[in-house]
């Protein structure tokens, strides 16, 4: 298998040149992981990658990361110890590469501590966001990324089927206890850490799209919104890259749901199918939102669909392309995003159904295939 990181560095450099930028500076983030396979959480320590349009990339990093950074494709690694001045090392890197008064892109979420250092070192430079090059660079997933996302989808499917098989025994469980159980099941079925805190929203709590699972006891007849996924490691020769699953089902584990629930669930199913059917290269992200929203509006529930239809998924659970009204970005093969329309009736219940899809040459491939029906025993 070809290591993707050299290719990604080359592709990023070409996009920098096309954007007229002298360099991009990344700190611990998904952009840094994408380029080098190195993953770390941000901290107050200077850990920066400088990728110039001309010249070799370089890390400025604490000595404690020497071993991990030696495994990346970046050969120039400037290490500093406590008591050293990392800003002086950064200045040397910039000077060596002739970065002075051009355009410099900085990681979109870089802490002000580090952007201010760059501004002091480069008073004549102009600054913009790294997304100028990274958004287009990361939108289309390669084969390694798609394989990881498919595995993440399969893991979510297995957990969904396990929950359906347990059905009646889950009545009487608290939301929080079930959320913890879902986290455990994701690991048992081959996943890593949850992609996000699992959402278990029962009864009236389901009307809150991002409800935090609490101590409410799940009762017979409750519609229960279940939103979860797990990270999986991509199959890379070197470096690290974790890709998340993200699936939502709304299930009644036992008993009879509220009278309007069957109708609402059917409408959301129809809206999701309409959106998936609309996916193909060349259509806009906004048109996918319109396909789902028009079904819900026609049924009279337009005001109860209170969020976008979907979001891109890659190294981050939420990233471009965003499937939202007004987004004119045209879809291309290899893009991956969620399709998750919902209807939320305050004080009563909510319904959301979500799958991840990848744009193919002539349509869409679902990355989730577990049952979408509302009864626990639906096939």
Identify the three-state secondary structure at position 341: coil
Which long-range CB contacts under 8 A does 165-168 form with residues at least 24 apart?
166/253, 167/253, 167/254, 167/376, 167/377, 168/253, 168/254, 168/376
The burial of 26, by beta-carbon neighbours within 10 Å (0-12 exposed, 13-18 middle, 19 or more buried), is given as: buried
Is pLDDT of 379 > 70? no
Which pLDDT tens digit goes with each residue over 292-302? 999 999 999 99
> What global pTM score does this model have?
0.94
Q: What angle do CA 37, 155, 159 make, to 5 degrees?
A: 140
Residue 1: pLDDT above 50? Answer: no
Query: Per-residue pLDDT tens for 148-199?
Result: 999 999 999 999 999 999 999 999 999 999 999 999 999 999 999 999 999 9
What one-character DSSP code corresponds to residue 306? -
What does the pLDDT look like over 184-242, one tens digit per residue? 999 999 999 999 999 999 999 999 999 999 999 999 999 999 999 999 999 876 667 89
Distance of alpha carbon 113 from alpha carbon 234, whole angstroms = 32
% of residues, the chain, pLDDT over 70: 98
Report how far residue 116's alpha carbon sits from residue 15's, in angstroms, rounded to the nearest whole number. Answer: 25
Domains along the chain?
Answer: 4-137 (3.40.350.10), 140-366 (3.90.230.10)
The closest of 10, 25, 22, 32 to 239, measured between CA atoms, is 32
Query: 3-state DSSP call for residue 247?
Result: strand
**pLDDT tens, position by position, 68-80:** 999 999 999 999 9
**Sign of the C-alpha dihedral computed for residues 278, 131, 192 and 226 taken in this order:** negative
Summarize pLDDT for 252-290 with one digit per residue, the tens. 999 999 989 999 999 999 999 999 999 999 999 999 999
**Lookup result for tokens 């480069």:** 122
Task: List CB contacts of 110: < 8 A, sequence separation 6 or more.
Answer: 25, 26, 27, 29
């Amino acid at each position: 298998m070809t290591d993707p990181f050299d290719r990604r560095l080359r592709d990023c450099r070409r996009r920098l040149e096309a954007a007229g930028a002298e360099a991009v500076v990344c700190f611990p983030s998904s952009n840094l992981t994408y380029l080098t396979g190195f993953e770390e959480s941000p901290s107050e320590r200077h850990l920066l990658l400088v990728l110039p349009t001309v010249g070799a990339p370089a890390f400025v990093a604490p000595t404690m990361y020497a071993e991990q950074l030696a495994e990346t494709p970046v050969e120039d690694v400037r290490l500093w110890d406590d008591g050293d001045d990392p800003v002086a090392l950064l200045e040397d890197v910039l000077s060596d590469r002739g970065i002075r008064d051009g355009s410099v892109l900085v990681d979109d979420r870089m802490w002000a501590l580090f952007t201010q250092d760059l501004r002091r070192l480069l008073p004549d430079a102009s600054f913009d966001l790294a997304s100028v090059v990274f958004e287009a660079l990361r939108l289309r997933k390669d084969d390694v990324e798609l394989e990881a996302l498919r595995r993440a989808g399969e893991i979510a499917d297995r957990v969904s089927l396990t929950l359906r098989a347990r059905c009646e025994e889950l009545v009487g469980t608290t939301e929080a206890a079930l959320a913890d159980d879902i986290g455990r099941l994701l690991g048992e079925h081959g996943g890593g850490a949850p992609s996000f805190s699992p959402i278990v929203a029962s009864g009236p709590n389901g009307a809150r799209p991002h409800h935090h699972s609490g101590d409410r006891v799940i009762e017979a007849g409750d519609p229960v919104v279940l939103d979860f996924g797990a990270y999986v490691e991509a199959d890379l020769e070197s470096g690290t890259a974790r890709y998340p699953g993200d699936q939502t089902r709304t299930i009644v584990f036992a008993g009879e749901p509220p009278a309007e629930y069957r109708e609402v669930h059917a409408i959301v199913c129809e809206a999701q199918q309409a959106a998936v059917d609309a996916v193909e290269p060349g259509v806009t992200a906004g048109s996918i939102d319109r396909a789902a929203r028009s079904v819900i509006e026609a049924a009279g529930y337009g005001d109860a669909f209170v969020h976008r239809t979907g979001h891109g998924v890659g190294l981050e659970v939420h990233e471009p392309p965003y499937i939202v009204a007004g987004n004119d970005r045209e879809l291309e093969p290899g893009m991956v995003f969620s399709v998750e329309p919902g209807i939320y009736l305050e004080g009563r219940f909510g319904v959301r159904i979500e799958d991840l899809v990848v744009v193919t040459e002539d349509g869409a491939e679902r990355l989730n295939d577990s049952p979408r029906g509302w009864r626990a025993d639906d096939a």
